[in-house]
A and B are shown apart, each in its own frame.
Chain A
């Protein structure tokens, strides 16, 4: 290239690289292109941020939902573990981390392998983690609850960043929570040959069902209301205040409820049952069921089989396995006139009847009415002679007048026998006693007359009630076989537990609690609950149910926000 110097000469700059040229280029296309790229980057980044935010929000919502289900599962897990634990207020089993009697400290539930504290759940393919904390219920926190029967559970489910908590009160529910409990289906009117009318003024639990064809369709029926049976909510349930309605009587049936005819009724329109819980009822039958709540949620409450109770308790019975009976005037006999009844013999029957005096000595007392040594002791024995451990477990005097207490037993004790017991006269009893009758017969106990304390429950406010009350007079019969209550117009104030059937055949009034392998009612017995009875059950029964024959139910439910 030629170069000239001087005015007018053009000087060429040295050749530059592409970066240099880029720095000096001033065209708009480059700027516009760069601007567009920048704009696209900003828009893209914004969109990505929004998408990510949307995704995270949706993911969190889903995780929250999953965490709630995990918390629910944790409650179910707690129910399962507590169902397996006989005692809730000890430091064993599920409550191993608990200090007995402590109602304020939250502790970790134990499932047999680990404490349920932030553990993977479900274990094979964890969705998240659960924690189950428990606290014994304090007195008065929940009506009817105490540290032995109720537990607060705080269940937490966690899935990644999401966490949900549920707090519930779980409680034991036993046969003692019902006026009548039947381990098998109830077929009202089908048994006994009667007309099938019966009236239950309280809560009922039916634990089983059998197939019945109704309207061409087969249902597993737990409660078959043939005839004019009725179950009413007209008497206060446990924890209810008399006169303050509605009461809380419920009907639980592990099967269908069906009825025949139009005259049966469960609850009234004016006095609905608090709940009727059953597998279902065929269409068209529900109009005879009046209840505030109706569903198919029926907790499994095992049968408190008295055979097991007898096996557990009989070694602690207070009596000798022999009774002495005198049928001479005024119950005064010579030693040879006292007739022994071997209570260990299942083929014998001990009969309480008019013009008979019956004595059962205390275990270890050595009393033998056939021995001259004890002639005075036996002939003069009264209800005052059942106070210690060296006299009598039972004194019955069938020579007393109709208004007198004629049967006395040692308080807070149980009486064991393998023979049958037959009651052929009105009995007014005193004592707080469980009769363990280890007889497999269908009539291990046969009751032909009233069996009540001196103040019958039916007398109401006209007489100081003692049955089922603290320090009161309450009898319980635990039967290895069945019980038969026969005789018109009689009243029984009793707790009756029967491995077999409890049967009746006449109009009667039953007050108390009736738990049986089967209930066979006829001729309109009226069956009533007794408020307070659950808390004052005769020896051994309450603890037997609480520690072995209970279901677990949710009493309170709330989610913690």
Chain B
């Protein structure tokens, strides 16, 4: 009986030696380390890019929402009403527009609720002087949208800035352009900081002059 041969033969055919196992694990660990190191940088970059895209997407949606409604200011307003904008402040705007296509024009107000970091839209009888109520403008929700800045600037039809803010009543009828600046807080829960607070700007041209 040749046990040596039998034992060696058995080890070769049914498993690995501890040494082989250790070597394999070590090799795997090294490979994982290398892979993690290699992939972590682009992964972080990718996450940052995605976050930036999220920010832009969130901002775009909110700006789009406001812009599409501001363009309609004056739509359906009574003929003897010259002031389509009843409030033209630095961080809030209220205007008359028939957005729903039903009946006449209703009041719409956009403002920032700094407590919760959302922009709210108040409509019709829901328009108040504060921003604690009203429907928040939300995004598609990959990350919660937190707005830290909402600014409006107003221009007449020749793109001349109207001042002071809030615009007095005799200046408000001249509003033909509204510039909206939106600032988002990028310093939320995750660890992939894309940038500091991001600001986005767009202009809405009032079509019903």
- The finding on whether chains A and B are genuine partners in a shared complex, rather than unrelated, reads yes
Are A293 and B209 neighbours in the complex by a CB distance under 8 Å?
A: yes
Which residues on A sit within 8 Å (CB–CB) of B126? none
Partner of B60, one of A36, A61, A244, A559: A61
Which residues on B sit within 8 Å (CB–CB) of A296? 157-158
A55's nearest neighbour on chain B, judged by CB, is B53
Q: Does A8 contact B (CB under 8 A)?
A: yes
Q: Does A211 contact B (CB under 8 A)?
A: no
Are B32 and A36 neighbours in the complex by a CB distance under 8 Å?
A: yes
Are A294 and B57 neighbours in the complex by a CB distance under 8 Å?
A: no
Partner of B82, one of A50, A61, A246, A277: A246
Contacts A54-B53, A248-B79, A559-B68 given; indicate if A295 touches B156 (C-beta within 8 A).
yes
Q: Does B176 contact A (CB under 8 A)?
A: yes
Partner of B15, one of A2, A27, A280: A27
A496-544 residues at the B interface, CB under 8 angstroms? none
Question: Of A79-87, A124-132, A430-438, A550-558, which binds chain B?
Answer: A550-558
Question: Of B21-29, B111-119, B144-152, which binds chain A?
Answer: B21-29
Question: Of A18-26, A94-102, A368-376, A459-467, which binds chain B?
Answer: A18-26
Are B72 and A558 neighbours in the complex by a CB distance under 8 Å?
A: yes
> How far is it, in angstroms, between the C-alpha of A97 and the C-alpha of B51 when the chains are bound?
51
Are A294 and B174 neighbours in the complex by a CB distance under 8 Å?
A: yes
Q: Nearest-CB distance from B181 to chain A (Å)?
A: 19
Question: Of B6-14, B128-136, B184-192, which binds chain A?
Answer: B6-14
Number of interface residues of A (CB under 8 A): 52
Q: Nearest-CB distance from A325 to chain B (Å)?
A: 50
Contacts A29-B28, A558-B98 given; indicate if A8 touches B174 (C-beta within 8 A).
no
Are B80 and A32 neighbours in the complex by a CB distance under 8 Å?
A: no
> How far is it, in angstroms, between the C-alpha of A36 and the C-alpha of B140 when the chains are bound?
32
Contacts A33-B28, A294-B156 given; indicate if A27 touches B21 (C-beta within 8 A).
yes
Contacts A58-B57, A296-B157, A557-B208 given; indicate if A239 touches B79 (C-beta within 8 A).
yes
> How far is it, in angstroms, between the C-alpha of A244 and the C-alpha of B80 when the chains are bound?
7
> How far is it, in angstroms, between the C-alpha of A57 and the C-alpha of B82 when the chains are bound?
40
Question: Of A9-17, A336-344, A354-362, which binds chain B?
Answer: A9-17
Q: Does B71 contact A (CB under 8 A)?
A: yes
Which residues on B sit within 8 Å (CB–CB) of A2? 2
> How far is it, in angstroms, between the C-alpha of A36 and the C-alpha of B28 when the chains are bound?
10
Are B82 and A292 neighbours in the complex by a CB distance under 8 Å?
A: yes
Q: Does B44 contact A (CB under 8 A)?
A: no
> How far is it, in angstroms, between the C-alpha of A241 and the C-alpha of B158 when the chains are bound?
30
Number of interface residues of B (CB under 8 A): 41
Partner of A293, one of B25, B101, B170, B174: B174
Q: Nearest-CB distance from A212 to chain B (Å)?
A: 19
> How far is it, in angstroms, between the C-alpha of A277 and the C-alpha of B158 when the chains are bound?
9
Partner of A8, one of B1, B9, B156, B208: B1
Contacts A54-B53, A248-B79, A274-B82 given; indicate if A295 touches B209 (C-beta within 8 A).
yes
A61's nearest neighbour on chain B, judged by CB, is B60
Are A27 and B16 neighbours in the complex by a CB distance under 8 Å?
A: yes
Are A295 and B68 neighbours in the complex by a CB distance under 8 Å?
A: no
Which residues on B sit within 8 Å (CB–CB) of A29? 16, 21, 24-25, 28
Which residues on B sit within 8 Å (CB–CB) of A561? 68, 99
> How far is it, in angstroms, between the C-alpha of A47 and the C-alpha of B47 when the chains are bound?
10
Residue interface bits B41-73, CB-to-A below 8 A is 1, else 0: 000001000100100010010000000100110
Are B176 and A246 neighbours in the complex by a CB distance under 8 Å?
A: no
A50's nearest neighbour on chain B, judged by CB, is B50
B74-128 residues at the A interface, CB under 8 angstroms? 75, 79-80, 82, 98-99, 101
Are B21 and A28 neighbours in the complex by a CB distance under 8 Å?
A: yes
B100's nearest neighbour on chain A, judged by CB, is A561
Are B1 and A9 neighbours in the complex by a CB distance under 8 Å?
A: yes
Q: Nearest-CB distance from A222 to chain B (Å)?
A: 15
Question: Closest 3 interchain pairs by CB?
Answer: A295-B157, A29-B24, A292-B173
25 A-B residue contacts at CB 8 Å? A9-B1, A10-B1, A12-B9, A24-B13, A24-B14, A25-B16, A26-B14, A27-B21, A32-B25, A57-B140, A61-B57, A143-B79, A241-B80, A275-B209, A293-B156, A293-B174, A293-B176, A295-B157, A295-B209, A296-B158, A554-B207, A557-B71, A559-B71, A560-B101, A561-B99
Known interface pairs A16-B13, A32-B28, A33-B28; 6 further A-B residue pairs with C-beta atoms within 8 A, sorted by A's residue number: A2-B2, A8-B1, A21-B13, A25-B16, A54-B53, A239-B79
